[in-house]
């Protein structure tokens, strides 16, 4: 699909095999850095030189002689350097590609690779103990974009938010709220060890008292817990709404206890003989599955006798499998990477047919926040952090999303709040949106209905500028970029591509006038403008960023 590469590759394979190459030959086709080398290049002659016992350049020549140029859709093939073969695409191949692009419209870039298979993407999954901070923001942007990429490539995606709404931290939340309620009643503030100090707790306490006049003393810890969790979930939902992220499903950790899944999981692991008791605690032999030490599942009586967090986590992942998700992807901060081995080990030990690499993990490195030239120490307990909402209010949803997506997840990210705000007008996302708006403006000024543009009636030979041929080829790369990004679960590839393509659009826009040109030229350029606009819009939409018609 991408600029005729598939047909070309198939023809290279055919020619290679005709010359004696093994059946599994998979020639690498790539875009040369320097466009002067042509549109596509392959190293297949160098790869096959040794197995076939021939000199690379001789082999390259024989390959070229064997290939059918019409079938491959190329106008020329040249040997270069140690044995590269550089191909130049037939102009008709590009024209057909752009015509197909317009016909596909908002579907251009989609693929059926996933064949409608179900996949659950879990992300954010915050404890309901405070507002969502920048780290969650990165995770939300990543998780949503990955989900979107999978949808574009044919998967049936469910975005899922797992609430860790039980355990010690929730108890601390209840106690912290209680302390604030009692403070309102005139008692001295005594936030417990491990409690939460943020001002939002005081606000929740205020609302609690207003809605529970009968418990102004804050004696009903159970009611306090439920109220605080409910309030914080509401807040987190609003944060995600402001960010434009929608989850299909929410899963409560507490439900795993109430419906007995945690108990059943432990019993199953026991029955399978993967556990043992030591010092009064129940251990899982995770070392059988690559862990460096066995892990406690149930604490000893002195420590409370409760389950450690990873037990419900295993039970939770069993439900993903049982709910029919043959593929599961978890987007998490790298500080949780030790859970990967543990959860997978638990699932393997259950022996219920869950594959070894289940679930897949996308770990992103930490976000540090710079403000006033200094790093803001993020601590929910101390109440100092920068929330997702702060960022959105300061620099806008689109810019925040792009900022989080423009770089690889596995490099650390320093979010300078002051810089993001002061540079909001120079943020790369505006550069991309501007390209889209400029193209839209051409249609607006010309009084042209872009959806009525017909590529089948234009003379593509009119598009002779280097900027035009390069732009067309870049546009046709889009499906391959999407496919690669989806397979690698790396949305930043789309972000990088969009920025690069926006640059080509600005360049072309500056060089080539569209309206009021002779009709054949104007019509051809309108097609190109429409095609470029479509690709930018599809890419931005995929990343959850708006594509404005004017700015």
Partner RNA sequence: GCGCCAGUAGCUCAGUUGGAUAGAGCAACAGCCUUCUAAGCUGUGGGUCGGGGGUUCGAUUCCCUCCUGGCGCGCCA
Contact 164, 408 (CB under 8 A): no
Closest CA to 92 of 502, 460, 545, 493: 460
Closest to RNA by CB, 181 vs 472, is: 472
Say how far apart CA 488 and CA 54 lie, in whole Å. 35
Which two three-digit tokens encode residue 356? 């070894």
- Provide the token pair at 261: 């899944």
The rounded distance, in Å, linking the Cα atoms of 364 and 139 is 8
Q: How far does Cα 235 stand from its chain's mean position?
A: 24
Output the smallest distance, CB 246 to RNA, in A.
24
Separation CA 190–CA 171 (nearest Å) = 15
- At closest approach, how far in Å is the CB of 354 from RNA? 21
Nearest Cα to 139, choosing from 362, 414, 292, 295? 362
Closest distance to RNA from the beta carbon of 63 (Å): 14
Least distance in angstroms from the C-beta of 84 to RNA: 4
As measured in angstroms, the least distance from the Cβ of 385 to RNA is 14
The conformational region for residue 246 under phi > 0 = left, psi -120 to 50 = alpha, else beta, is beta
Minimum CB distance to RNA, residue 378 (Å) = 10
Nearer to RNA, 66 or 254 (CB): 254
Cβ neighbours, 10 Å, residue 516: 7
CB of 256 to RNA, least distance (A): 12
| CB nearer to RNA: pick between 180 and 438 | 438
Half-sphere exposure of 44 (CA within 13 A, CB side): 33
Q: In this structure, what are the phi and psi dihedrals at residue 54, rounded to the nearest 5 degrees?
A: -130, 160
Smaller CB separation from RNA, 321 or 443 = 443
Q: Of the two residues 209 and 431, which places its CB atom closer to RNA in the complex?
A: 431
Output 218 or 409, the one with its CB closest to RNA.
Answer: 409
Q: How far is the CB of 324 from RNA (least distance, A)?
A: 26
Quick one: tokens of 69?
Answer: 């140029």
For the bound state, the minimum distance from the C-beta of residue 265 to RNA, rounded and expressed in Å, comes to 15
C-alpha to C-alpha distances, 392 to 93, 142, 231, 278, 493, nearest whole angstrom: 44, 16, 21, 50, 23
Judged by beta carbon, residue 208 or residue 310, the one nearer RNA is 310
Q: Which is nearer to RNA, 181 or 498 (CB)?
A: 498
Q: In the 3-class helix/strand/coil scheme, how is 303-358 assigned residue by residue?
A: HCCCECCHHHHHHHHHHHHHCCCCEEEEEEEHHHCHHHHHHHHHHHHHCCCCCCCC
Our CB check for RNA shows the closer of 320 and 525 to be 525
Nearer to RNA, 91 or 465 (CB): 465
Rg of the chain, C-alpha, whole Å: 29
Q: Which is nearer to RNA, 76 or 423 (CB)?
A: 423
Q: How far is the CB of 39 from RNA (least distance, A)?
A: 10
Minimum distance, C-beta of residue 66 to RNA, in the bound complex (Å): 19
Distance from C-alpha of 329 to C-alpha of 327, rounded to nearest angstrom = 7
Residues 164/233, Cβ–Cβ less than 8 Å: no
DSSP lists the bridge partners of residue 261 as none
For residue 494, the minimal CB distance to RNA (Å) is 11
Q: Compare residues 181 and 229 and give the one whose CB is closer to RNA.
A: 229
Q: 536 near 435, Cβ under 8 Å?
A: yes
Structure tokens at 18: 């005709």
**d(C-alpha 522, C-alpha 428), whole Å:** 30
């Amino acid at each position: 699909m991408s600029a005729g590469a598939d047909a070309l590759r198939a023809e290279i394979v055919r020619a290679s095999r005709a010359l004696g190459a093994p059946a599994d030959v998979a020639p690498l086709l790539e875009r040369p850095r320097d466009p002067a080398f042509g549109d596509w290049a392959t190293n297949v002659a160098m790869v096959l030189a040794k197995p076939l016992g021939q000199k690379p350049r001789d082999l390259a020549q024989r390959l070229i002689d064997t290939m059918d140029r019409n079938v491959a859709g190329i106008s020329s093939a040249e040997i270069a350097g140690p044995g590269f073969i550089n191909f130049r695409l037939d102009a008709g191949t590009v024209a057909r590609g752009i015509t197909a692009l317009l016909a596909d419209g908002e579907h251009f870039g989609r693929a059926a690779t996933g064949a409608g298979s179900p996949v659950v993407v879990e992300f954010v999954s915050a404890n309901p103990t405070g507002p969502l901070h920048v780290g969650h923001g990165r995770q939300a942007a990543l998780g949503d974009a990955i989900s979107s990429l999978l949808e574009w490539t044919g998967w049936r995606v469910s975005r899922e938010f797992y609430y860790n709404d039980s355990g010690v931290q929730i108890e601390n939340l209840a106690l912290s709220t209680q302390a604030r309620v009692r403070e309102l009643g005139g008692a001295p503030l005594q936030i417990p060890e491990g409690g939460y100090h943020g001002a939002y707790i005081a606000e929740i306490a205020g609302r609690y008292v207003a809605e529970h006049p009968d418990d102004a003393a804050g004696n009903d810890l159970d009611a306090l817990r439920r109220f605080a969790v409910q309030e914080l979930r509401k807040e987190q939902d609003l944060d995600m709404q402001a960010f434009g992220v929608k989850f299909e499903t929410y899963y409560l950790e507490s439900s795993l206890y109430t419906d007995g899944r945690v108990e059943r999981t432990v019993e199953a692991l026991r029955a399978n003989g993967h556990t043992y008791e030591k010092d009064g605690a129940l251990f899982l032999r995770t070392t059988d599955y690559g862990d460096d030490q066995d892990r406690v599942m149930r604490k000893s009586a002195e420590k409370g006798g409760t389950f450690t967090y990873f037990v419900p986590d295993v039970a939770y992942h069993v439900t993903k499998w049982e709910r029919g998700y043959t593929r599961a992807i978890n987007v998490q901060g790298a500080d949780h990477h030790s859970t990967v081995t543990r959860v997978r080990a638990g699932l393997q030990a259950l022996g219920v047919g869950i594959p070894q690499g289940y679930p897949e993990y996308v770990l992103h490195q930490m976000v540090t926040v710079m403000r006033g030239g200094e790093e803001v120490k993020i601590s929910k307990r101390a109440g100092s952090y920068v929330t997702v909402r702060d960022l959105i209010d300061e620099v806008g949803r689109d810019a925040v999303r792009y900022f989080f997506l423009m770089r690889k997840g596995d490099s650390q990210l320093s979010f300078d709040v002051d810089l993001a705000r002061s540079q909001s007008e120079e943020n790369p996302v505006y550069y991309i949106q501007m390209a889209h708006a400029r193209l839209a403006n051409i249609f607006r000024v010309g009084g042209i209905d872009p959806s009525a543009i017909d590529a089948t009636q234009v003379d593509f030979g009119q598009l002779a500028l280097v900027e035009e041929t390069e732009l067309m080829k870049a546009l046709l790369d889009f499906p391959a970029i999407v496919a690669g990004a989806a397979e690698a679960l790396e949305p930043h590839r789309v972000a990088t591509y969009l920025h690069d393509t926006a640059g080509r659009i600005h360049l072309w826009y500056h060089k080539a006038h569209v309206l009021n040109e002779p009709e054949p030229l104007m019509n051809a350029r309108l097609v190109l403008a429409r095609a470029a606009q479509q690709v930018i819009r599809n890419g931005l939409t995929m990343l959850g960023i708006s594509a404005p018609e004017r700015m």
